Structure 1
Amino acid sequence: MIQPPNAPEPRRPSEDEIAETLLRLVAERGADKTVCPSEVARALGGPHPDGWGPLMQPVRRVAVRLTKAGRVAILRKGRVVPDPDDFRGIYRLGQPRDAAVQGAGSRASE
């Protein structure tokens, strides 16, 4: 998208905003379902590739950080990646398997 001269640079979301959006979308999707990282980028940058495209690497960085913290799972071909620092290709984001189990257990005890 071509910006007119003197147009303000579009504001880029912070890593905290990316994390909040990522976690919300994964939670809304529910257990055993996944979210495409581009869905996170589109939610923040809008439908045009010029808005969401530059967010793909920041979304990946945040996904890796949240995976290391145990808050999301990065999946390739339906399997959790063994090393979030070293994976390639298309990936999806979902709830960690133990979080779904813990969530079910905590509801049963209420």
Structure 2
Amino acid sequence: MPTIPQAILAKAIQRGPDKSTCPSEIARELFPADWRKHMQEVRDAAIELQQEGKVSITQKGRPVDTENIIGPVRIKMNSP
């Protein structure tokens, strides 16, 4: 089973820089029985990947301040 960061990166690469994924998709794939319990772990991993410059986290198509996330977000590859 892949780690959470590996799963996020794999999904982002699969979707490409023009499409995004919801963190819940990652949680559902990795933890189908109790995915809601793991949502914060997925968000935390996505934030780390953004800080490393590997992905972008957006809300309504715009970059989001990861210190103040309120509501749903999307994860996508950075544009080249």
TM exceeding 0.5:
yes
Q: Give the whole-Å Cα distance in 1 for the aligned partners of 2:35 and 2:67.
A: 23
2:42 matched to which residue of 1? 59
Equivalent in the alignment of 2:15: 29
| Equivalent position to 1:84, from 66, 69, 75 | 66
Quick one: distance in 1 between partners of 2:68 and 2:51? 12
For residue 80 of structure 1, report the CA deviation from its aligned partner.
Answer: 1.3
In the alignment, structure 1 residue 45 sits paired with structure 2 residue 27: no
Report which structure shows greater RCO (CA 8 Å, sep ≥6): 2
Paired amino acid for 2:55:
V
Letter in 2 for 1:33: K
TM norm structure 2: 0.90
Q: 1-side partners of 2:3 and 2:69: how far apart? A: 24
> What code does the residue aligned with 1:74 have?
I
What is the root-mean-square deviation of aligned Cα atoms in Å? Answer: 1.6
Read off the aligned partner of 2:75 and give its amino acid letter.
L
1:88 Cα deviation from its structure 2 partner = 1.1
Contact 1:67 1:84 in 2 (8 A): no
Q: Which runs of 4+ in 1 moved over 2 A?
A: none
Bigger Cα Rg:
1
Corresponding pairs, count:
80
Q: Offset at 1:72?
A: 0.7
* 1:27-75 CA distance string (max 9 Å, x none): 11112100010000011011x4xx2111101001111111111111000
Cα distance in 2, alignment partners of residues 65 and 90 from structure 1 = 17
Provide the secondary structure at the position in 2 that maps to 1:35: coil
Q: % of aligned pairs identical?
A: 38
Query: Secondary structure at the residue paired with 2:18?
Result: coil
